[in-house]
Structure 1
Amino acid sequence: MAAVFKIVPTTQMYDWGKTGKSSKVAQFADSSRVPGFTIDEASPYAELWMGTHPKSPSYVQSSGTTLSEHLAAHPELIGKPVIDKFDAGNGNLPFLFKVLSIEKALSIQAHPDKATAEILHAQHPDIYKDPNHKPEMALAITPFLALCGFRPLPEIATYLNATPELRSLIPPSVLDAFLSLSNSSTPTGPDEKAALKNVFASIMTADEGPIKEQLGSLVERYTKGETHNDEETEVVELVLRLNEQFPGDIGIFCAFVLNYVRLSPGEAIFLGAGEPHAYVYGECMECMANSDNVIRAGLTPKLRDVPNLVSGLTYTAAPPTKHVVNPAPFSTSSTLYDPPIPEFSVVQVKLSDVGAKEVHKPVGGPSIGIVTEGSGRIKWNDGKDGLDAGLGDVFFVGANTTVEFENGRQGDLVVYRAFVEV
């Protein structure tokens, strides 16, 4: 039984995905010859899934069995510490690895914590299809735009004062209470969180008529180039973009209360349970706990669950730096992204010279890798075993396995590897 082997990912064709060959999801699936996959230039290719989630499990390329079935039969590939900590004896990995290709903004959303996920799954298993939480990290592989977490309270106050259309949706008593606390020295205190929650709930539960009327006024003002202060100009392009995609949607007003971030390739953000966010544009590697639970409330044609979103948020107001994952060296040509949760970390391997090599020492748990640029060879067992891997190829590495990456041609070999160890 091989410690390293190729697996077959799956694709998800959601409305927000990039279309045809413009999507890296489609490029990777096509280049790695996923069985039965052909690119339709009119279709949106949104996500490439790599893992054991039952909604869309990966398969072992050589046998056609699901990855979870194979791992359940060979638990040493997961490792006993990981099995014991994450109850992974059934072969289900504690993480799910993805590529996202985003043309149109994803929904205003958050993910439940473990206790809430269990309740939602028990109450609505048709909507919340597993009982797990879903902390996640997005690592940009192209320029990437996102909304993540609540802005600092003074910033929100500035936007409220500058945007009469937004202010009109909030009851005066709620607005006054928030503004009186917006410069508090304890921005994450219970009173401040309650005030922010009341403002956000007022916006998200506003009646449809006033929402559409005020958004129409806002878009008209922005289209004419009219703004009330310099801060407001930061969100003009975003508001107009979102309105083109979701005309009259309440989620557009979240541009004023959530941090707007622009990531360059190699930069990453982490969203824990209860943190509101929406990915706006670009392509990224995404890694998360093994779950598909999403609570949505705007910018989506899918089911919206505003009460559970509003009740489940942390209401932690902070600069976007709170969500940044700072990279660290992993080995000579590899960079580690290690968010503050136990289910996963991600390593980027980048080799630029023909024949360049990089050795990864054993990690105590399983991992999944994907080639996103170039081609090369992956070796293990002291170089006695190996496999060739090109663009889009996905492979599994068993626990406690030393692996070597070798660049096979001119140009960069880039591999992203998600793993867990305890």
Structure 2
Amino acid sequence: MAAAVEPLFRIAPTTQGYDWGKLGNSSKVAQYASGAGIPDFTLKESAPYAELWMGTHPKSPSRVAESGEILAAYLAAHPELIGDRVSKQFGIKDGNLPFLFKVLAIRKALSIQTHPDKKTAEQLHAEQPNVYTDPNHKPEMAIALTPFQALCGFLPVEQIAAYLVSTPEFASLIPNAIVNQFLASSSTLDSKGPLRDLFSAFMSADVNQVKEEIIKLVTRYQAGEEKETEKGVKELVLILNEQYPGDIGIFCAFLLNYVTLSPGEAMFLGAGEPHAYVSGDIMECMANSDNVIRAGLTPKPKDIPNLVSGLTYNASPPTKHMVQPAKYGGATLLYDPPIPEFSVLRLNLQDGKEETHAAIDGPSVAIVTEGEGTVSWEGGKSLQLSTGNVFFLAAGVEVSFASKGTLNLYRAFVDVKN
């Protein structure tokens, strides 16, 4: 007789050792991986642990912990775990979840990048399947686990204009006519075209000239000769130059918003928004894709034409990208970005308290980020939980969480909106 299909079960995530990841046990990825029950995982203090993947993306799929079966295959065999409404909305036939949940631990800056919209992703995948490995878009949300620094979205045009005036090393990379056109437009409401022209010219600058201007800029900053306008970016420029000497992405400090998020704060980046994560540990949730269009701060291939053509050129303060969580329960917050593929719940239970989550119409993936406790469901069944545990929750199941002292977890889910 076949074993009953339980609505909750542990899954084994996977790790990615990209060079920019934090080393050894300083990485949240390594800390959680140690408690996640990953087969043959051994922590090495000198190794980078950059990402923990929790989901069904074929590049690095999670497995059912008990059986070792690939999660997508298990869900395809038991589609009731995903639920009819979500399966119909997203056309799911192969058990592939609409979202991918991750932990990132960032020691040095990730590349200046953007993600394509759905139509562009399909085109890029058809043209360059070895580079753009799936046909999906990749809107993403980052929630800070530790203090987190990032570049996100274009600065307001007046701030970019101020840098063009105050920072000759930056302005010299762009033809005077384009600089003047941008400066003239910076006091008007129609700046997208001039910003596009400015960014395109900047990204096409001569590589040797870029290196020369970076040397001048860094030398000036190291001598303490920064101007008042530049004080907010001086430290970032010096950090990026240490990590990626002479890279054009260093000058993106004069084009993109630089933000610091405290633990629990979040930001969302839709298609065509330039960004780069600089440092810190985060929870990240995205549509189920690994498509990245890169432009700088990376040894990986860059795709300047597709990056330039795909940006929104929306210039605004960073508040535009922030996600304000809403109360979901006494100890739970809801992060609900403006896309259908995912939302995230953050549970923070203290002092042995309990919290119930009502049934959700779609599937969930959750990770315990601190503490111990239990999750229980219908029939008196339960799982013991501790730091690093990752588990799947089926559609349509009510669950109750109880802490032993402290229990913090994040739960990514998809729920069909009425």
TM bucket (normalised to shorter chain) is over 0.9
| Alignment partner, residue 388 of structure 1 | 384
**Residue 295 in 1 paired to residue 293 in 2?**
yes
Shift of 1:139: 0.3
| Alignment partner, residue 208 of structure 1 | 207
Q: 72, 76, 92: which is aligned to 1:72? A: 76
SS in 1 for 2:123: helix
**Residue 319 in 1 paired to residue 317 in 2?**
yes
**Residue 360 in 1 paired to residue 360 in 2?**
no
Percentage of pairs with the same residue: 60
| Alignment partner, residue 192 of structure 2 | 193
Q: Is the 8 A contact 2:31 2:388 kept in 1?
A: yes
| Alignment partner, residue 344 of structure 1 | 342
| Alignment partner, residue 224 of structure 1 | 223
Q: 149, 160, 163: which is aligned to 1:159? A: 163
SS in 1 for 2:158: helix
Shift of 1:33: 3.0
Letter matched to residue 200 of structure 2: A
Letter matched to residue 395 of structure 1: F
**Residue 179 in 1 paired to residue 183 in 2?**
yes
Cα distance in 2 for partners of 1:194, 1:248 equals: 28
| Alignment partner, residue 248 of structure 2 | 250
**Residue 420 in 1 paired to residue 414 in 2?**
yes
Shift of 1:273: 0.1
Shift of 1:32: 2.5
Q: Is the 8 A contact 2:13 2:36 kept in 1?
A: no
**Residue 99 in 1 paired to residue 96 in 2?**
no
Letter matched to residue 32 of structure 1: A
**Residue 49 in 1 paired to residue 47 in 2?**
no
Cα distance in 1 for partners of 2:12, 2:218 equals: 45
SS in 2 for 1:97: strand
Cα distance in 1 for partners of 2:370, 2:92 equals: 31
Cα distance in 1 for partners of 2:99, 2:45 equals: 31
Cα distance in 1 for partners of 2:106, 2:327 equals: 29
**Normalized against structure 2, the TM-score is what?**
0.98
| Alignment partner, residue 58 of structure 1 | 62
Shift of 1:84: 0.8
Matches within 5 A, 1:14-53: 14-53=18-57
Cα distance in 1 for partners of 2:306, 2:198 equals: 16
Cα distance in 2 for partners of 1:212, 1:114 equals: 35
Letter matched to residue 57 of structure 2: H
* Cα distance per residue 1:66-125 (max 9 Å; x no partner): 110111011111111111111112100000000000000000000000000000000000
| Alignment partner, residue 373 of structure 2 | 376
Alignment RMSD (CA, Å)? 0.7
Q: Is the 8 A contact 2:366 2:412 kept in 1?
A: yes
Q: Which runs of 5+ in 2 are unaligned?
A: none
Q: Is the 8 A contact 2:285 2:342 kept in 1?
A: yes
Letter matched to residue 255 of structure 1: A
Letter matched to residue 310 of structure 1: V
**Residue 397 in 1 paired to residue 396 in 2?**
no
**Normalized against structure 1, the TM-score is what?**
0.97
Q: Is the 8 A contact 2:37 2:65 kept in 1?
A: no
SS in 1 for 2:32: helix
